[in-house]
C-alpha cells in the first residue's frame, strides 16, 4: 500500500506540473478511477479547434483494465454547443453508424472505441460564427469523465442564382412556396415543368412533391392530400382528403395551408383559396384552424431578404410594419431600411444592401417609382457578381410589392446613365418573371 500511494502521488505531481505549464491539455483529459483504469477521450487527429468541419473522429481509450459498454448507435456520445457561454438548445448532429443496438463493445488498450460525428454546418444549422462544442458519453461506465472541448468556426459561402425572364421550350415556370429549414418562413422557388393546360392541378401536384434537395429547403410533402382543385372567378377551391394524415399535424397545418394559398395565388387572376373537406365547406379543419371563409395572402409591401441555406441564398418576402405610413415615400424608406438591416434577431435572414448605400429620394408618377441612390450603389459587391444580381432582384421585387407600382427607375445621384449587374439603368425596369430558380 505505501508503494501504491507513492506512485499515485508521483502521478498527481506530474499532472499538476503539466497543468501549470503552457502546454495545452484540452485534447486528451484523463480520469483515474478506483479500479486502476485510465480512460480518456481524444480527437483523431488531435486538435482543439476546427474550421468548417464535416465529420469529427472521436475515440474512447483505456490504458489499463478493459471496459465493456452497451452499444447505443446514434447516441453513444452527447454533443453540446455554446455561443458566448450560452448553451444552444436542440442542437442537431449525427453520430454515424457504429454497430448494432445493445451490442457489447470492448474498449481495450489496443482496441479503442471510434465514433464519427457529423457536425457540419448544414447538419447543425448554426449560423456563421464561433462556438464551443463539448463531447462526452452518458454511459454509466464513462459518465464521470470530463467532457472534451472543441472550438468550432463556421463560415458559409452561399451562391445566388439570378432570376430569369425566360423558361425552357415547351415548359412553364410555376412558383412554389416551401418552408425554410427552420420552419420560420415560406420561401418562393421557381420550378420549370412541361407545359400543361391543367395549371391548377399541376401546381398542386408539384407543391405536394416538396422542395428539390438542390434548394436545401425542407424536403418531402408538407401539404394535406387533396382530391381535386378547381376555380370559380378569382377563387381557387381545394378539396382536401378528410383521411389525410397531414390534417392531424396541428403544429404544421397552418404553414402547410399558407403554402397552398401563396402558391395558388401566384397564378394570374387567382386571389384567394377556399378549402373544402370532402367537397364541403366546414367551419374548422381542426380546432383553431377556421376555413369557413376563403384564405387570402398578405399583400402588404414586402422586403425581399436573402435566406442563407449555406449552399445558396434564396430571396423571401418579409413584411415590416407599414400600417402607419401615409405615403409611398414612407413605405419605400421602411422597406429600404429593412433591406439594409435584415432581421437582427435571425442571422439566417441576412442583409442585402451594403451600409454605405443610401436612398436619397423617391418619386412616384403614373405607376413608375423612381429610386434615387448615392453612387455607393454602383460599387456594391463589385467583386461578387452573384451578390449584385441578388441585390438587383431584391430591389425590383421589394419595391414592386407596393400595390400601385408597375415599374421601377433606378437613379444614381439624380442621373439614369449607368448600368449595374447586367442591367441598364437608363430606362424603367420590371421585376423578373422567375425568382429563385430551383436548379441552376
pLDDT for the residue numbered 107: 79
Peptide bond into 45 cis (omega under 30): yes
The residue with cell 418579409 is 318
**Partner residues linked to 209 by β-bridges:** none
Q: Where are the alpha helices (DSSP H) in 144-235?
A: 199-209
Q: Which three cell numbers stand for residue 23?
A: 502546454
Give the closest residue to 56 by CA, choosing from 134, 111, 140: 134
Extended beta strands in 250-342, E state: 272-277, 284-286, 289-290, 303-308, 312-318
Q: How far apart are CA 326 and CA 130, in angstroms?
A: 43
Distances (CA, A) of 162 to 124, 159, 177, 388: 27, 10, 18, 9
Distances (CA, A) of 376 to 187, 356, 382, 389, 426: 29, 6, 10, 16, 18
pLDDT for the residue numbered 104: 75
For the entire predicted model, the pTM comes to 0.84
The residue with cell 457529423 is 118
Q: How far apart are CA 383 and CA 396, in angstroms?
A: 21
The residue with cell 447516441 is 75
Residues 6+ apart with CB under 8 A from 290: 283, 284
Q: How far apart are CA 268 and CA 175, in angstroms?
A: 11
Q: Give the three-state DSSP class for 370.
A: strand
CATH of 2-154, one of 1.10.287, 2.60.40, 3.30.1120, 3.40.50: 2.60.40
pLDDT for the residue numbered 98: 64
Q: Give the three-state DSSP class for 215.
A: helix
Q: Do strands 55-62 and 94-95 pair parallel, antiparallel, or not at all (unpaired)?
A: unpaired
Q: How far apart are CA 438 and CA 260, in angstroms?
A: 18
Determine contact, residues 191/174, Cβ cutoff 8 Å.
yes
Determine contact, residues 405/372, Cβ cutoff 8 Å.
no
Q: Do strands 419-420 and 423-424 pair parallel, antiparallel, or not at all (unpaired)?
A: antiparallel
The residue with cell 480527437 is 43
Distances (CA, A) of 373 to 318, 358, 403, 416: 22, 6, 22, 11
Looking at the chain, which residues constitute the CATH 2.60.40 domain(s)? 2-154
pLDDT for the residue numbered 25: 32
Alpha carbon 59 to its chain's center:
31
Determine contact, residues 115/95, Cβ cutoff 8 Å.
yes
pLDDT for the residue numbered 12: 43
- Largest pairwise CA distance in the chain: 98
Q: How far apart are CA 421 and CA 393, in angstroms?
A: 10
Give the closest residue to 125 by CA, choosing from 172, 168, 75, 88: 88
DSSP class of 340: H
Determine contact, residues 73/116, Cβ cutoff 8 Å.
no
Q: How far apart are CA 407 and CA 422, in angstroms?
A: 18
Determine contact, residues 412/378, Cβ cutoff 8 Å.
yes
pLDDT for the residue numbered 425: 96
Q: How far apart are the first and last CA of the chain?
A: 73
Mean pLDDT by groups of 10 residues along the chain of 440 residues: 44 40 35 46 82 90 76 80 95 80 75 87 94 88 82 96 93 96 93 95 96 86 94 97 88 93 97 95 93 97 97 97 94 98 95 97 96 97 96 98 96 95 94 93
Cβ-count burial of 64 within 10 angstroms (0-12 exposed, 13-18 middle, 19+ buried)?
A: middle
pLDDT for the residue numbered 27: 34
Determine contact, residues 395/388, Cβ cutoff 8 Å.
no
Amino acid at each position: 500500500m505505501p508503494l501504491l500511494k507513492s506512485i499515485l502521488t508521483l502521478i498527481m505531481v506530474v499532472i499538476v506540473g503539466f497543468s501549470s505549464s503552457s502546454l495545452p491539455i484540452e485534447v486528451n483529459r484523463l480520469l483515474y478511477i478506483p479500479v486502476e483504469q485510465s480512460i480518456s477521450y481524444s480527437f483523431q487527429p488531435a486538435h482543439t479547434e476546427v474550421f468548417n468541419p464535416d465529420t469529427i473522429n472521436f475515440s474512447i481509450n483505456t490504458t489499463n483494465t478493459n471496459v465493456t459498454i452497451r452499444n447505443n448507435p446514434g447516441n453513444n456520445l452527447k454533443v453540446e454547443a455554446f455561443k458566448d457561454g450560452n448553451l444552444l438548445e436542440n442542437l442537431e448532429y449525427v453520430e454515424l453508424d457504429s454497430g448494432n443496438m445493445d451490442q457489447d463493445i470492448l474498449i481495450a488498450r489496443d482496441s479503442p472505441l471510434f465514433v464519427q460525428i457529423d457536425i457540419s454546418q448544414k447538419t447543425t444549422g448554426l449560423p456563421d460564427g464561433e462556438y464551443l462544442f463539448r463531447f462526452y458519453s452518458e454511459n454509466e461506465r464513462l459518465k464521470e469523465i470530463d467532457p472534451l472541448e472543441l472550438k468550432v468556426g463556421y463560415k458559409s459561402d452561399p451562391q445566388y442564382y439570378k432570376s430569369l425572364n425566360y423558361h425552357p421550350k415547351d415548359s412553364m415556370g410555376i412558383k412554389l412556396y416551401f418552408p425554410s429549414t427552420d420552419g420560420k418562413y415560406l420561401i418562393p422557388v421557381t420550378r420549370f415543368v412541361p407545359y400543361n393546360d391543367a395549371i391548377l392541378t399541376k401546381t398542386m401536384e408539384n407543391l405536394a412533391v416538396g422542395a428539390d434537395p438542390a434548394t436545401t429547403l425542407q424536403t418531402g410533402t408538407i401539404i394535406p392530400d387533396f382530391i381535386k382543385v378547381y376555380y370559380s372567378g378569382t377563387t381557387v377551391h381545394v378539396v382536401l382528403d378528410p383521411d389525410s394524415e397531414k390534417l392531424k399535424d396541428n403544429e404544421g397545418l397552418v404553414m402547410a395551408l399558407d403554402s397552398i394559398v401563396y402558391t395558388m395565388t401566384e397564378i394570374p387572376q387567382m386571389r384567394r383559396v377556399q378549402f373544402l373537406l370532402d367537397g364541403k365547406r366546414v367551419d374548422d379543419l381542426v380546432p383553431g384552424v377556421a376555413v369557413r371563409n376563403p384564405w387570402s395572402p398578405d399583400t402588404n409591401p414586402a422586403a425581399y431578404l436573402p435566406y442563407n441555406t449555406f449552399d445558396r441564398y434564396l430571396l423571401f418576402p418579409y413584411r415590416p410594419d407599414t400600417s402607419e405610413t401615409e405615403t409611398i415615400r414612407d413605405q419605400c424608406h421602411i422597406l429600404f431600411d429593412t433591406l439594409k438591416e435584415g432581421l437582427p434577431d435571425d442571422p439566417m435572414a441576412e442583409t442585402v444592401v451594403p451600409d454605405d448605400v443610401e436612398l436619397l429620394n423617391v418619386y412616384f408618377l403614373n405607376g413608375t417609382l423612381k429610386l434615387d441612390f448615392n453612387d455607393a450603389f454602383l460599387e456594391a459587391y463589385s467583386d461578387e457578381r452573384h451578390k449584385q444580381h441578388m441585390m438587383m432582384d431584391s430591389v425590383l421585387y421589394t419595391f414592386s410589392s407596393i400595390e400601385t407600382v408597375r415599374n421601377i427607375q433606378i437613379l444614381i445621384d439624380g442621373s439614369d446613365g449607368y448600368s449595374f449587374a447586367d442591367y441598364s439603368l437608363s430606362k424603367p425596369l420590371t421585376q423578373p418573371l422567375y425568382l429563385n430558380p430551383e436548379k441552376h
